[in-house]
Chain A
Amino acid sequence: MVTQEFQAIILAAGQGTRLPEVLADSPKCLLPIGPYPLIWYPLNMLQQHNFQEVIIVVLESERTEIQQTLERAPLKIKMDFVAIDSDSDFGTADSLRLIHDKIKSDFLVLSCDIVSNVSLFPLINKFRQHDAAMAALLFKSGFESDVTLPGPKTKHKPERDLIGIHPESDRLLFLASTSDFEEVMSVNAHLLRKNGKMTIFSRLVDSHIYVMKKWIIDFLLKKENFSTLKGEFLPYIIKKQMSKKSGSSVAAPDMHSEVGVNLKSENDIFHYASNSQLEQRIQKATLFNDSRVKEPYNGDLIRCYAVIAPKDSIGVRVNTTLSFFAINRKISNVWSQFFKEQEHALISSHAVINSTQTKEISVGDSAKLSEKTSLNFSVFGANCTINPKNIINKSIIMTSAIIEEGCNIENCIVGSRAVVKRGSVLKNCLIGPSYAVEEGTKKENQHLTNADGFMEIDIQ
């Protein structure tokens, strides 16, 4: 077998803790986004970039369900499922550690919740061009800004990252969460002294698409204390870019014979990142230099880069109820930007559609949309039933939900297997899975659910 330049990994073992209202008991990565499950989008993206194989990390308990669903989806890419124990609290870095023996080359890590039409080639090229240790793709945020979340009004304050990038070289210099600081943000002066300038972005979203060197896996394998990529490992490696390789290891790069020395250097990230002799020579010989006064890359061994997705591209991480709602609401609008040649249908051919008044809708398999209905800007999941005389606007009707006659539903999420009985008028409501809305209910801004178990956490 020919080794590929890049292997692709999709991490799909997330629990979806930030969208409990819509999750029910199905895995997060199978949430419906338009006509397809969430995980189909990153898989399709990889397929479009000519990836032949992908490793998917899933939870043991959800494995069969995911596998079955994906077999039905239109995908050619070869999928290799790896399951992790459902009970263990596995972080993203832990997941990578688990599959270390499958990784033979540099790799691309994606989260299962990315819905995007951005090209990955600029990212990959940046990584290749600078022989980087890591490169990350960043999206502009604000996709959800014009969408009101159904349910009770909350002051939703999304977590924001502060991302520092060197404007001339695109080096990723700084990564922190705004919640790490209180009143003032403190920046290491060394960072500025060395780089002169740094642009800090506060409205970019980390896409959770990373290209990484193979040695990062080896390093993670040794350093078991890194549990997550984004939260722990990335800030670490970004900081490490700036520090110098300790003097001893420079002097003795090949002292692997002695056990004592070897042990010590294995703890050092530079042990993994070190250049081969050939690379060192190439770097000496090259005419390329990104710095005016010093050696290329300031002599940094580890280099992290960031690529900001173009403004007109779409990139959403579906990890909150709001983003889930937003992408579904807009999916039919932006569908043409995703798939230019109508290769994937928004409306399933197995759906029964008798309605004549529809606009920008997406319909799943075996959904039944009756006549005499007005259905606009909405998503209808598989097997859902819409009876006649209904008006549904800007809403998501999830799998197997039933809407009886004469309802008016606006800006709502109707959970899977939920039933909205005759004559209900719902606006800005969240209907939990399997909930039955009584006849003639008139509600606004409510969260209707069977499960009392949800802890109401008011994040101010």
Chain B
Amino acid sequence: MNQFEKKEVIQAILIADNNVDQLRPFSDENSTALLPLVNVSMLDYALDALNRSGIEEVFVYSSLHLRSVREHIKNGIASLNSWSVNMTVHVIGGEGCRCFGDAMRDLDAKALIRGNFILLGADVVTNADLRPIFEQHKKTAKYDKGAAATLVFKEAATSSIRTGNEVMIAVDQQNNRLHHHQRLRLHGKESHFEVPLEVFLNNSEVALLHNLIDPQIAIGSPSMLSLFSDNFDFETRDDFVRGILINEEILDSRIYVSVLPRGQYARKVNNWLTYCMVSQDVMNRWAYPLVPDMGINCLAQQYVYLKNNIYKSRKSTFIKAALRENVAVQAGSQVEAGTSVSCSVIGKNCKVGKNCVLMNAFLMDGVHIGDDCKLDCCVVGFGSKIGAGSTIAEGTVVGSKCAIPAGKLLKNVVIKSVLGDDDDLVEKLGEHAFIIDDKQETQSTYASDSEDEVLPTAATGIPKVARVPTICEESDYTSSSDEDESRAVSPLVDDTNIFLAEVMDSLARGFQEKSNPDFLILEINSSRYAYNMSLKEVNFYVVKALFSLQDIKEPANQNVLVAINNVLKQLGPVLSNYIKTPDAMLQCLRALEDIYEENEFVRSKISKVVHYLYDKDFVSEDAIIAWYEQLDVEDHRALRQSLKELIEWLDQSSEEDEDDDEDESD
């Protein structure tokens, strides 16, 4: 009897209402935990996963839509949902809870958690067995009293697209302690990772693990909750991790890491892209036993499982429609003739018209789609109606109960049926269809090509539903110049550098003391002979030195043109002394190329600077054009771009000149 009482009940905390911003417009209407994924709400996946790991008590923490979550759980228990066996589920919540950290603090205050616990979001789909990790954490905690949590990670496929859940971590090989945690950028690639040197000096073996998926599953010690209470600035789990890593000693807490074995699946649904990916994975049976035909929701068989991963309800009707692969169709749905469906989910009581094409389309319950529609990479909410002949594509999300008029073409937009208070209207499509601003800078869909880093904007666009590329992209080695041939180029502490330095000194002094340009020329010439410079080099370096003067480097009022004008008023004779021949002019412009790279003020005004030199007759039109043509199209794309207008203008004016000549000769 005594033994029986001492038996430890493993507790788990499920945080609902995550990612409220990223799953719009659905998140405006209901808890994201209840969002159906392959016709089963996400909360059920998470509960099922916990049940399979042998958890006996679960606290579902919800704040925004507490009532609907409570109702869902109540219904689930009433209908003998598979997770309700041997597991008690409590729904708790607090009004003032605004973030993950608040939830943790509230839980700490309520003192419901007695020992180590499992913590995960309601948006996690996993088939991982968490018990061994839990046991491991207990062992660690016995050894290290400051073990606050064990984070669970999963290795990602070699080159999957970024969804915002990928991290790079540094872990001690010997005791699995976390030393560095860095979320990978959603857009664009990092060029370097920076890890404190200390980490390596203090630990003899540190593994850097890149591209791990963070499903936000953790095993927490009781101290984890109190740490949240003590540090009220911890808002998210990442804050917690960062805070602990920075203040390890002050907080006397440490975080450990566990990586799931290869066969186990874990993924978090935090935006529409992951929604799409996880749906596909579930249909592809990666998350087995969490697959549609296993009856996650209720104990009854809902689908007939056919080849090519087609899950078809017996109560659905198909009239000469083609189901290609990875399709789940719920009871009561009807698909008309000539329609082809692939990689899609169709909810309860949907109607899909004739000759439609559905690809990567996710239809929730009661959706009606007219004839001849084309749906590609989109989500359509409960009870929405889409008029005939519409095309909905590129990550469009249609909220519940929308009515989209016939023949619309919608790409990458968010549509709601009723305009909320804080929605920014973009366009009204109909009585029950408003395109709203999804509160992010418009960026092309993620699939298009995120590798293309032409515009390194700091956009934090949320990934949309997109086709998941199957081809692995080769990581390209963009080696920076300093490491590629660093050994090959010996440091330039040679004569040319000394010469340049001397010329710069001469010019700077000359400019300041307003000395006679002839003296300066004399000085430069003597330097020239001292360092045995060719005339070409002299031309090049004089221009370079001239533009490297302090006044031009840091022009007053940021106005570089005024600064150049001032300098050349004084030192113009020096420049014209050297830059005489067409060759020299070319050298002069080449030097300008260097300056262009170094000086941002010159960069922004390059065409004006060249124009100025042309105006003052330092360089000729021919030289400019010859120089422009020599510029490499690839390497100097930006420079060419900025010079384009000037060149066109020069071309025109020369033609006019010719015209004038002709006129005169007539």
Contacts and interface: CB of A to CB of B under 8 A. Distances in A.
B2 interface: no
A306 B558 CA distance: 54
B192 A199 contact: no
A189 B191 contact: yes
Interface stretch (B69-77, B474-482, B511-519, B634-642): B474-482
27 contacts: A160-B201, A178-B201, A181-B197, A184-B195, A185-B199, A189-B191, A189-B192, A193-B189, A194-B475, A195-B210, A196-B210, A197-B209, A199-B173, A199-B208, A200-B200, A200-B205, A200-B208, A201-B205, A202-B203, A202-B206, A223-B487, A225-B490, A236-B486, A242-B477, A243-B477, A243-B484, A292-B158
A162 interface: yes
A55 interface: no
Contacts of B206: 199-200, 202
A235 to B, nearest CB: 8
B490 A293 contact: no
Interface string A277-314: 00000000000000011100000000000000000000
B204 A202 contact: yes
B488 interface: yes
B48 interface: no
Given A193-B211, A194-B475, A244-B477, A185 B200 contact: yes
A195 B475 CA distance: 10
Nearest to B204: A203
B488 A225 contact: yes
B205 A192 contact: no
Contacts of B158: 196, 292-294
Pairs A-B, 4 closest by C-beta atoms: A192-B210, A203-B204, A189-B190, A193-B475
A190 interface: yes
Interface string A175-215: 00010011111111110111111111111100000000000
B207 interface: yes
B197 A185 contact: yes
Interface residues of chain A: helix, strand, loop or mixed (majority):
mixed
A192 B155 CA distance: 13
Interface string A255-295: 00000000000010000000000000000000000001110
Interface string B164-177: 00001000010000
Contact of A197 (B210, B486, B488): B210
A278 B112 CA distance: 69
Q: Interface centre among B155, B203, B205, B488, by most A CB within 10 Å?
A: B205
Interface residues of B, number: 39
Contact of B475 (A184, A186, A190): A190
- For chain A, which range describes its interface: under 10, 10 to 19, 20 to 34, or 35 or more residues? 35 or more
Contacts of A190: 191, 475-479
A196 B472 CA distance: 14
A100 interface: no
Contact of A188 (B191, B195, B211): B191
B109 to A, nearest CB: 38
Given A178-B200, A190-B475, A198 B192 contact: no
Contacts of A253: none
B483 interface: yes
A197 B209 CA distance: 4
A193 B197 contact: no
A152 interface: no
B194 interface: yes
Interface string A228-259: 00001100100100111000000000000000
A196 B205 contact: no
Contacts of A197: 207-210
A159 to B, nearest CB: 12
B176 to A, nearest CB: 13
Nearest to A243: B477
Q: Interface centre among A185, A223, A242, by most B CB within 10 Å?
A: A185
A226 interface: yes
A267 B208 CA distance: 33
A439 to B, nearest CB: 47
A189 B477 contact: no
A332 to B, nearest CB: 29
B213 to A, nearest CB: 12
Interface of B: 155, 157-159, 168, 173, 189-197, 199-201, 203-211, 472, 475-479, 483-484, 486-488, 490
Interface in A99-156: none
B262 to A, nearest CB: 10
Contact of B208 (A178, A187, A232): A187
A192 B484 CA distance: 17
Contacts of A293: 157-158, 472
B208 A198 contact: yes
A202 B199 CA distance: 10
B208 A192 contact: yes
A183 B198 CA distance: 7
Contacts of A162: 200
A440 interface: no
A243 B472 contact: no
B311 to A, nearest CB: 28
A164 B208 CA distance: 9
A182 B157 CA distance: 34
Nearest to B168: A192
Contacts of B479: 188, 190, 239, 243
A225 B200 contact: no
A232 to B, nearest CB: 5
Contacts of B199: 185
B210 to A, nearest CB: 4
Given A190-B475, A199-B173, A185 B487 contact: no
A302 B477 CA distance: 15
Q: Interface centre among A195, A197, A204, by most B CB within 10 Å?
A: A197
B201 to A, nearest CB: 6
Contacts of A202: 200-201, 203-204, 206
Contact of B196 (A184, A192, A232): A184
A201 B204 contact: yes
Given A160-B201, A178-B201, A239-B483, 15 more contacts: A181-B197, A182-B197, A185-B194, A187-B192, A187-B193, A188-B191, A189-B190, A192-B193, A196-B158, A199-B206, A223-B487, A236-B486, A244-B477, A267-B488, A293-B472
Contacts of A196: 155, 158, 209-211
Nearest to B158: A293
Contacts of A189: 189-193, 210
A302 to B, nearest CB: 13
A242 B209 CA distance: 18
A313 to B, nearest CB: 17
Contacts of B205: 199-201
A150 to B, nearest CB: 27
A184 B194 contact: yes
Contacts of A192: 168, 193, 208, 210-211
Nearest to A182: B197
Contacts of B490: 225
